[in-house]
Amino acid sequence: MSDQPIVIQPVTPPLSHLGDAKQQRGNLTRLLGMGGIATIAIAGLVWVFSFEAPKIKLTEPGGPDGTKNAPEVIRQERAPFADLEYERQLESAKERLGELVEIQTALKESMQVGLWGEKEYRATMNRATEADLAFQEKRYEDAWVAYGDATEQFKALMSKGDALFKSHLEAGSTALDHRDAGAAEREFASALIIKSGHPEAEAGLTRAKKIPAVAEALRKAANHELAGRWNDALAAYDEALQIDPQTKGVAALRAKVDSATTQEQIRRHLSEGFAAIDERQFDRARSAFNRVLALDPNNPVAAGALQQVSAQGDVDRIRAGEDRGLAAEKREDWTGALKAYDEVLAIDGAIEFAKAGALRAREHTRATELLEKIRKAPEKLSSPQLFQEARNIVADAKSLEPGGPKLSEHINAVEQLVRTYSEPVNVTLTSDGATSITLSTVGALGTFSKKSVSLRPGEYTVVGSQRGCRDIRETIVVKPGMKPVSVRCTERVN
């Protein structure tokens, strides 16, 4: 084996500025892991050999040829407490280094620091380089301090960037509110220099570029307002909001035009309503004033006008209802008369002429219906009860006022029927002498071959029965000059 010494050259590893930030974190992790393992191994060996060989002194004796001896080397172990302190300083430096890498990575990923904070960034990187050098030279306490300084400087730089970004956003928003396109674009562009692609800044820059179009729409709206073209003004404001819905103040301007439009409509409806009152067209007036209240529920003019319409209109409707009712009575249109009087009573239920007219209409209507019913089925007058009711109906109808030709015609016709049905008619019944016969309203007639009975005209029911035969039931209508009626059972039952 050669006696020549082997010289090991130290390699300087980059620590805090390892190029790409993500690669830095990977390299740092591997470096710290390897360093941790090596440190533990060395510490163990030192602890073991502190008992075996506490002190080693190496000297190189002079050779026989008189060459100079090599310098004496003495290896002195560290005490256990000093070793632990050394390890603590190493670990603390590693932790500070990790914090530095994290904040540096966050800064580079979130902000384009090179475009606005290059000087501070370079100064901080120089301090980080000093920390790296101290770490490589195992001056871990110095490295811990330097890494901490660099970390705080990076944090301060990040805070400065956030503050600058916020300031540009606020200034840009103010410029948007004042519709200052140039200032707004500058501020949002400056914000994007700090944080590229930030959505709020991008949105602000987009809005800033729309300001000229918004301003033009607002100019048109203002011109339409001055000319009283309210609908055109509303359309122009809607155009501005369509370009940029967030434009400040447009909603208030639009509401102002809406209000002006409403006031114009109210004035028009009020004019229409009062004109209708003058023309005594109260329904049209009421409709106009109600349109006003639909736009302005508390409008005092419309409310007062409606009271006036109600008072004047009610009087006119009452008079008109009375006229319609009397006209219907003359025509003997009692249904129409009742409707007219009921409409008046709906306005004021205490009006006497309407109450009396409605009563007359109901009485005439009832009398007419009963008289018509008798005329349609006179045969039912054979019943003594119905015959007497018919006489009473005629008497009541004669007492009604006014009479009128239609009512008189009904009364005369029913009176004639009553007279006719009040005079008995001799009716001849024939049978077989074996059938027992019963006649409604009269009673049992027994068996016979021929029998004559005196009956008032009308409808009667004849029932015949005989042993061994099926009963018969027939209806006969008695009237003057009628032929004999045969009643007998003919159908035998087995």
On average, the pLDDT of the chain sits at: 81
CB 367 within 8 A of CB 406: no
Q: How confident is the model at residue 75 (pLDDT cuts 50, 70, 90)?
A: very low
Once rounded to an integer, what is the mean pLDDT over residues 288-294? 91
Question: Who wins on pLDDT, 62 or 476?
Answer: 476
Asked if pLDDT for residue 249 goes beyond 80, the answer is yes
Q: How far is CA 425 from CA 374, 458, 474, 480, 483, in A?
A: 20, 10, 19, 6, 11
CB 181 within 8 A of CB 208: yes
What is the CATH architecture assignment of 424-494?
Sandwich (2.60)
- pLDDT given at position 2: 42
- Per-residue pLDDT reduced to its tens digit, 415-434: 988 888 888 889 999 999 99
Q: How confident is the model at residue 214 (pLDDT cuts 50, 70, 90)?
A: very high
- Report the 10 Å Cβ neighbour count for 288: 24
- Strands 450-455 and 425-430 turn out to be antiparallel
- pLDDT given at position 93: 81
- pLDDT given at position 199: 93
- Per-residue pLDDT reduced to its tens digit, 84-94: 766 778 888 88
- pLDDT given at position 464: 95
- pLDDT given at position 403: 85
Q: What is the CA radius of gyration of the chain?
A: 61
Domain boundaries defined on the chain: 9-53+74-196, 331-422, 424-494
Q: Largest Cα–Cα distance in the chain?
A: 192
- Per-residue pLDDT reduced to its tens digit, 93-135: 888 888 888 888 888 887 888 788 888 889 988 988 998 898 8
Question: Who wins on pLDDT, 316 or 273?
Answer: 273
- pLDDT given at position 80: 63
Asked if pLDDT for residue 334 goes beyond 90, the answer is yes
Asked if pLDDT for residue 21 goes beyond 70, the answer is no
CB 57 within 8 A of CB 48: no
Once rounded to an integer, what is the mean pLDDT over residues 295-308? 89
Asked if pLDDT for residue 31 goes beyond 60, the answer is no
- pLDDT given at position 19: 42
Residue 117 neighbours by CB under 8 Å, 6+ apart = 111, 157, 160, 161
Q: How far is CA 241 from CA 204, 206, 264, in A?
A: 16, 15, 24
Q: How confident is the model at residue 191 (pLDDT cuts 50, 70, 90)?
A: very high
- Among 175-179, 306-310, 342-346, the minimum mean pLDDT is found in 306-310
- pLDDT given at position 465: 94
Asked if pLDDT for residue 154 goes beyond 50, the answer is yes
Once rounded to an integer, what is the mean pLDDT over residues 445-455? 93
- Per-residue pLDDT reduced to its tens digit, 356-381: 999 999 999 999 999 999 999 887 88
Q: How confident is the model at residue 494 (pLDDT cuts 50, 70, 90)?
A: low
Question: Who wins on pLDDT, 55 or 381?
Answer: 381
- pLDDT given at position 104: 84
